[in-house]
Chain A
Amino acid sequence: MVDKNKLFHVIKRYFQLLKIYAGMDLASLMRDGKFMAIVIIADIVSNISSISGIFLLAWKFGGIGGMDRFEVLFMLAYGNIVMGFLNMMGGCNALFPSRIIGRGQWEHMFIMPVPYAVQLTVGIFPFTGSSSFLSGIGMLWVAVCHMETVMPWWWPGMLIFQLMISMVIVVALSYLLSSLAFYAPVQCEEISGAVVYSMGRTMTFPLTGMPMYIRYPLLTIFPAGLMAWFPSMILLGKAATFEVIYSAIFALMISLSATYFFRKGFRYYVKKGINRYVSGGHRS
């Protein structure tokens, strides 16, 4: 009974904190009209620029490697939704745990009266950080409207499922590599950033038509292909039946590995700790 009350309290607190963070984000956006206008215009320009290169190539050549123009746009939109959602929800470094660990800030979390998961996931930016996510949805809509294929009734469900799997893979990979920051906090502080940003850059390349020795590493060792290209192939009906479950199995395996190594690193960290702050208050 006590546990049930505690769980209810945590869930209630979680939503309260989400609301507080969302409120702070809105306040930062609305602090003055000029600032808000700059942010909105800059966001639009930034989002168009980030996908325009590959899309313009696809437009010029009528597609890339067996994908037509709007299939390429679909893939880019899918990737934007994945990264946009993760950046919106994990902006307070929940997506980049090596920064928290490497900066010695995980210790700060020890004294907070809510679980780690709650602390990590409440730092959202729904107003200033949602542009990529929203533009991704817009582009996906445009791409789907221009496709000749008729989508079956279960397609929206499959889309959401694939999006969740792609997000799980990015988060799990980030946590898996961030485990190294428990052992080498200074050197590995930015390892999650390096991995996530590299995945974000590499995901925009359509892998159709590329040789196996390029495609397979990008679906296994460095799974940038699972962030946009591979799920797009599944959703566009261009993948074989057995391939449909590959990304789900991969997500499960990498999540289990991340859990194991992160816990192992954490046990090391609580024994050794780190001290990166100098007396002046700045990091060494």
Chain B
Amino acid sequence: MINKYIATARMAVQGKTGGGVFYMFPEIIMKAVYLVPVMFIWKTLVESGYEAEMSVSQLLSYTYVNVLLADMMVVYTFLSAWDYDTRSMEMFTRPLPVFGQVISRTIGEWIPMLLLFSVPMFMAAPMLKIRILPGTLWVIPSLMLSVSLGFAFEFLFYCVTVRLRNVSWLTYVIRSAVTSFFSGTVIPFKILPFGMDRWINYQPFGSLGGAFLSLYVGSARASEIIPVQIFWNIVIWIAAAAWFQKSRERMVSFGG
């Protein structure tokens, strides 16, 4: 049974690298280009004498790990893309459950970037004086819960796209903007003003990458993070599965 999913993931890897690994380098360079100024923002702030609730070492690790595992911090699948080539329809013509297909295909698409970018950057971290190892093993279940919740949101937003009659772009833009802030992956909740960190952790997007990263760098405890992640996983997965069942017959796709 598992072989079908592995084969799907392998196809996704081949789809990503079919044109040659060389063509993935622009994406890798863009990731590095984004990483550098974000890391220097923290150094600039700390060197200016500002006191933050997190140390500069924690902030650097937070940003670094976020960029290394960006695909997993806020999950995007092909459901978020334009539905111009009937990919959503094809899901129903294959002998695999729809949810399983989407998940295995997406994980397959992550693999080339993990191997070409994340692994080398992980190895290079000590040379850049970045503390790369997590403070607790609770980060493993936390990452799994974070990724799982990411997939649940993906199905939920896909239903929004279907209900809004395929305005994929609008849904994508809104979702990207909202999750970039409310997931806490770019700016850690801990250093937000007005005491926002007291409540923002508990909104559903907060259990995505930001929760895992806080645990990873040791700015939050597992007992604060994991129960909230489990709660939102249950709620959002139930909502996503139920709404997907209701929305699937409304799907429309077109060639392009």
Pick the most buried of B19, B47, B177: most chain A CB atoms within 10 A of its CB. Answer: B177
Q: How many A-B residue pairs have CB under 8 A?
A: 103
> Are A198 and B48 interface neighbours, CB within 8 A?
no
Contacts of A208 in B (CB 8 A): 44
Q: Does B136 contact A (CB under 8 A)?
A: no
> Are B164 and A35 interface neighbours, CB within 8 A?
yes
> Are B170 and A53 interface neighbours, CB within 8 A?
no
Known: A46-B178, A49-B182, A187-B20. A39 touches B170 (CB 8 A): yes
Known: A50-B177, A53-B187, A64-B44. A201 touches B34 (CB 8 A): yes
Q: Does A57 contact B (CB under 8 A)?
A: yes
A280 and B255 CA atoms in complex are apart in Å by 9
Contacts of A52 in B (CB 8 A): 181
> Are B256 and A282 interface neighbours, CB within 8 A?
yes
Q: CB within 8 A of B45: which of A59, A64, A184, A194? A: A64
- Complex interface: stretch among B25-33, B94-102, B139-147: B25-33
Known: A65-B48, A187-B20, A281-B255. A42 touches B174 (CB 8 A): yes
> Are A207 and B174 interface neighbours, CB within 8 A?
no
Pick the most buried of B37, B45, B48: most chain A CB atoms within 10 A of its CB. Answer: B37
Known: A56-B187, A194-B26, A205-B41. A222 touches B193 (CB 8 A): no
| Residue of A whose beta carbon sits closest to that of B43 | A210
Q: How many Å from the CB of B250 to the closest CB on chain A?
A: 15
A224 and B186 CA atoms in complex are apart in Å by 18
> Are B34 and A214 interface neighbours, CB within 8 A?
no
Q: Does A236 contact B (CB under 8 A)?
A: no
> Are A209 and B177 interface neighbours, CB within 8 A?
no
Q: CB within 8 A of B173: which of A46, A59, A188, A209? A: A46
Contacts of B85 in A (CB 8 A): 282-283
Please name 8 pairs of A and B residues whose Cβ atoms are closer than 8 Å in the assembled complex, sorted by A.
A47-B177, A54-B187, A61-B52, A191-B26, A205-B38, A210-B40, A210-B44, A283-B85
